[in-house]
Structure 1
Amino acid sequence: MRIKQIETIRIESQPQIIWVQIHTDTGIIGLGETFYAPQVVEAAVHDWFGPLLIGREPGAIERHWEAMFRLSDHAGYGGAEMRAISAIDMALWDIKGQAVDLPIYELLGGAVRKKIPAYVNDLPYEGAGEKARYYLDQGFTAMKGGPTIALAQATDGQSLTPKELDMALKPIRDIRDAVGMDMQIANDGHGKWTLPVAIRIAQAMEPYEIMWQEDLMPPLNPDALARLQAATKTPVCISERLLTRWQLRHFIENGSAHIVMPDLIWTGGISETHKLAILASAHQVPIAPHDATGPVNIFACAQILMNAPNGMIMEHVPSMYKGWYNEVVDPNVDIHDGFLHAPERPGIGTRLKAGLRDRSDAIV
């Protein structure tokens, strides 16, 4: 089997998403996906990495990953190159799974589970208690939101008044008043705050038994994040902003990452996320992959989480899952009763819908 063609597909209705399809001479097509600045990713796929892959055997995934990474890391790895590698890697794993008629998690060593808890990225400032009741009735037991994010704008995250901090606690109090401890709550800070403010936020939320504090600060300094973790009993979760094992390892090894949140479609695809899960497991740290992007990412994360013993929980955005995901893939992700369920189809587990590439707003 040889790689015959690599194509990228974008649609105007989802301007940050790009899909990569790798065609083989046997007719098998592998699917990958990434998010953000898709025009730049498109150039990386076609101009840089495509020539390394065309005519090659797709099953040599590790060799291809290393070849792409070495081509780009001399200028500092990351950015569009890493996103392109991620999408290509997903597509290569998809081809391998289809070729042997197995889901990818079976190729990673088999399943340790067939479902994993999913949490909802949907925590409004107003009506958070009612929203918590709604999701509990559907079987979900964890929610995430960012009530401090907007408050950082006035001072660029340099200060937070007592009144503003109390405002940020309002939706969290509403959930506790409505459903008690039945709903877990994760707080996302979007990397907006300085260390002193981050410590204040984390400590102020401690009485509410927060599931984790995610990106209260930019993950630029492992020592600063370790100081944050030392100042709070709440686990610090780090971070989709860090790419590959080489960036994340500093935060895992110094104890600042009590939960690791890789973004599979940014950090190097299935190959690298699998390695990150193993690295985290060596430090007895769980993984909770990031998602607020596209459906193929969740399928790929499901492959990792069904195989990784230290898989904790999976993020999803209900409005996207119930909305535009249904327009672009078939089947959609299987999330119900509070769990993400294992894909059962060969490869990554889904396909772009027939006709997507022929839409009037498609750019192929």
Structure 2
Amino acid sequence: MLKNLKINNIETVRVSDPSDAIWVRVHTDTGLIGLGETWYASRTVESAVHDHFAPLLVGRDPFAIERHWLNMFRLSDHAGYGGAELRAISAIDMALWDIKGQAAGVPVYELLGGAVRKKIRVYATGGPFQGCGDLAKELIEDGIVAMKIGPTIPVATPSEGQYLAPNELDHVLKPFRDIRDAVGGDIKIANDGHGKWSLPVAIQIAKEMEKFDIMWQEDLMPLLNPQSLRQLQEATTTPVCISERLLTRWQFREFIENGAAQIVMPDLIWTGGITETHRIAIMASAHQVPVAPHDATGPVNIFACAQICMNSPNAMIMEHVRPYLYGWYGEMVDPLPPIENGWLHAPENPGIGTRLRPEVFDRPDVETRVTGVDAMIPGMSDEGWAGVGLYDPKLSTDNFSTAMWSDMENIFEFRAQESRLEEHFETKTDEAQNAGDSK
């Protein structure tokens, strides 16, 4: 493995379509470039990457992934360890793992402990609620034997999820009935509720759908109360799945430990990257709970999730959106995710396994931004904070939050003062103790 690499600069790439996608490229002084990806509010994430986290990383060792994750996560505490900050962390973390895999000449799953499998089943998300039976037949012909739909989602709007009329219930159940009439039990069906329903209605929906042998009930209710979700799980024979709406191991832990979740669905590009998703998978395995990673977003995420799925013994199945795979994914990355005949195969290329196509940078709608070593925070070693003082916020008018940087300077100065006071009182205490001992 190459040694003594340094991060030269961090680059973000956005396009107008899809406007929610953002790619992060971490450049090193040896020419290796790590690729990461995240989704939603791409302009805000761009600012978080460059103005919030890049100064922590440029000029540093890209292999110190755990240290970088910890530094970035600590700096996101003012945002509740979530939001655009955590999405930025996720993309950066993915890119750092990509660099490490490239330097070692192996796929990332080899660095996580090696592969326990070489392929994992995929399921297809989405599709029209009308004609679901025909879609199921088409999927089976392509070797895909699981699908996910969400007909309950639009029906929740009129009552804010508090009431489901008999005719609405019949409308919700029709796609499942059509699928079973068309293909029988040859395909598994998951239901996604997008967190729209109250507990009583969620129980009603889950119990009514049991006759269709549902693979899982995903987010019928908002993921706010682990005890309420446990009540749903106790009321139905269908496994309850907790999804990408939870962030980091701490949020997933509550739902796993109280028995509310029989399946967990972290989204790697939202919950902290490869580093944190690997932890979540291990935690779930300790409770004999399977992991089914979420991806209804970009192609790089599928490659990153493949690294987790190949390494995790409790990986169950992987999500993908077929119109994306056979549509815009090919305009952005090469190679495409290795999905064939209903299986996602282990990536073979070193690192994450894919790259942005060169043509992306020639697009008229492409927007890139780069932060270099001139933004490096002085007084900080690869081991963490070694001094007080961030770079001068007045050097840039594009900061994620100039006030935030000013506040952070005050915070770190305060912490340094606390440390000096602690050392002062420890010294005085020792002196007093020594004086007492000498009497």
Shorter-chain TM band: over 0.9
Aligned to 1:148, which of 152, 160, 165? 152
Cα distance, 1:75 vs structure 2? 4.0
Q: Distance in 2 between matches of 1:356 and 1:174?
A: 41
Q: Which residue of 1 aligns with 2:210?
A: 206
Q: Which residue of 2 aligns with 1:93?
A: 97
Q: Which residue of 2 aligns with 1:182?
A: 186
Q: Distance in 2 between matches of 1:7 and 1:100?
A: 23
Residue 324 (structure 2) pairs with residue 310 (structure 1): no
Residue 347 (structure 2) pairs with residue 343 (structure 1): yes
Residue 129 (structure 2) pairs with residue 125 (structure 1): yes
Q: Distance in 2 between matches of 1:232 and 1:214?
A: 13
Q: Distance in 1 between matches of 2:132 and 2:58?
A: 51
Q: Distance in 1 between matches of 2:179 and 2:249?
A: 36
Please say if residues 123 and 143 of structure 1, whose CA atoms lie closer than 8 Å, have aligned partners that are also in contact.
Answer: no
Cα distance, 1:158 vs structure 2? 1.1
Aligned to 1:244, which of 243, 248, 261? 248
Please say if residues 9 and 18 of structure 1, whose CA atoms lie closer than 8 Å, have aligned partners that are also in contact.
Answer: yes
Residue 3 (structure 2) pairs with residue 17 (structure 1): no
Aligned to 2:39, which of 30, 35, 38? 35
Residue 335 (structure 2) pairs with residue 331 (structure 1): yes
Larger Rg: 2
Deviations 1:194-220 (A, max 9, x none): 111000000000011100000001101
Deviations 1:219-239 (A, max 9, x none): 011111111111101000001
What SS does the corresponding residue of 1:155 show, helix, strand or coil? coil
Q: Which residue of 2 aligns with 1:286?
A: 290
Cα distance, 1:74 vs structure 2? 4.1
Q: Which residue of 2 aligns with 1:267?
A: 271
Q: Which consecutive aligned stretches of 4+ in structure 1 deviate over 3 angstroms post-superposition? A: none
Please say if residues 103 and 347 of structure 1, whose CA atoms lie closer than 8 Å, have aligned partners that are also in contact.
Answer: yes
Cα distance, 1:322 vs structure 2? 0.3
Q: Which residue of 2 aligns with 1:193?
A: 197
Q: Which residue of 1 aligns with 2:260?
A: 256
Please say if residues 292 and 317 of structure 1, whose CA atoms lie closer than 8 Å, have aligned partners that are also in contact.
Answer: yes
Please say if residues 252 and 280 of structure 1, whose CA atoms lie closer than 8 Å, have aligned partners that are also in contact.
Answer: yes
Please say if residues 128 and 175 of structure 1, whose CA atoms lie closer than 8 Å, have aligned partners that are also in contact.
Answer: yes
Q: Which residue of 1 aligns with 2:418?
A: none
Aligned to 2:10, which of 6, 13, 19? 6
Q: Which residue of 1 aligns with 2:107?
A: 103
Q: Distance in 2 between matches of 1:210 and 1:307?
A: 27
Deviations 1:299-358 (A, max 9, x none): 000000000000000000000000000000000001111101110000000000013123
Q: Distance in 2 between matches of 1:190 and 1:29?
A: 36
Q: Which one-letter code corresponds to 1:190 in the other structure? A: H
Q: Distance in 1 between matches of 2:79 and 2:338?
A: 40
Q: Which runs of 5+ in 1 are unaligned?
A: none
Aligned to 1:82, which of 83, 86, 92? 86
Please say if residues 222 and 250 of structure 1, whose CA atoms lie closer than 8 Å, have aligned partners that are also in contact.
Answer: yes
Aligned to 1:168, which of 169, 172, 178? 172
Q: Distance in 2 between matches of 1:148 and 1:76?
A: 30
User: What is the TM-score when the length of structure 1 is the normalising length?
Assistant: 0.99
Q: Which runs of 5+ in 2 are unaligned?
A: 369-439
Please say if residues 79 and 85 of structure 2, whose CA atoms lie closer than 8 Å, have aligned partners that are also in contact.
Answer: no
Please say if residues 117 and 338 of structure 1, whose CA atoms lie closer than 8 Å, have aligned partners that are also in contact.
Answer: yes
Q: Which one-letter code corresponds to 1:24 in the other structure? A: T
Q: Distance in 1 between matches of 2:124 and 2:315?
A: 17
Percent identity between the aligned chains?
68
Q: Which residue of 2 aligns with 1:295?
A: 299
What SS does the corresponding residue of 1:266 show, helix, strand or coil? coil
Deviations 1:66-87 (A, max 9, x none): 0000111244110000000000
Please say if residues 164 and 201 of structure 2, whose CA atoms lie closer than 8 Å, have aligned partners that are also in contact.
Answer: yes
Q: Which one-letter code corresponds to 2:316 in the other structure? A: M
Q: Which one-letter code corresponds to 2:237 in the other structure? A: K
Please say if residues 124 and 171 of structure 1, whose CA atoms lie closer than 8 Å, have aligned partners that are also in contact.
Answer: no
Cα distance, 1:163 vs structure 2? 1.3
Q: Which residue of 1 aligns with 2:63?
A: 59
User: What is the TM-score when the length of structure 2 is the normalising length?
Assistant: 0.82
Q: Distance in 2 between matches of 1:288 and 1:98?
A: 26
Cα distance, 1:13 vs structure 2? 1.2
What SS does the corresponding residue of 1:181 show, helix, strand or coil? coil
Deviations 1:91-123 (A, max 9, x none): 000000000100000000000001000000034
Please say if residues 123 and 146 of structure 1, whose CA atoms lie closer than 8 Å, have aligned partners that are also in contact.
Answer: no
Deviations 1:127-159 (A, max 9, x none): 111111111011010010001111011111111
What SS does the corresponding residue of 1:21 show, helix, strand or coil? strand
Residue 240 (structure 2) pairs with residue 218 (structure 1): no
Q: Which one-letter code corresponds to 2:146 in the other structure? A: A
Q: Which moved more, 1:70-79 or 1:86-95?
A: 70-79
Q: Which one-letter code corresponds to 1:249 in the other structure? A: R
